Amino acid sequence: MEMLNEKSFASFTSSGKKVVEFTTTWCGDCKRIAPDMPEITQSFADSFQFAEIDADDEQAVAEQYNVKGIPTFIVFEEGKEVGRLPSRFAKTKEQVMEFLESMK
């Protein structure tokens, strides 16, 4: 999955339907969901493009989108946020897949 920074974030989210996972290197829940991400991204490859961004390294972006917990998944369509799965609901593969299915 592509790793974004502040500059590439705007370009990545500007068109189409995109999913950005806000994560960090120390996040336990992020580490638990990481092995499932290849299957999740493959399952939804026809609907979304996926990327991740480190909320510690790119604090300005995390603050701009009011990301309070990690992992947080945000769906963008044509540059605008259209859906969000906050950390308290993003702990299992099933939760993430159910959310993405609802956003198709």
Looking at the annotation, which residues are catalytic?
27, 30
Contact 23, 79 (CB under 8 A): no
Long-range contacts of 65-69 (CB under 8 A, 24+ apart): 65/22, 67/22
DSSP helix/strand/coil, 35 = helix
Phi, psi of 89 (to 5 degrees): -115, 10
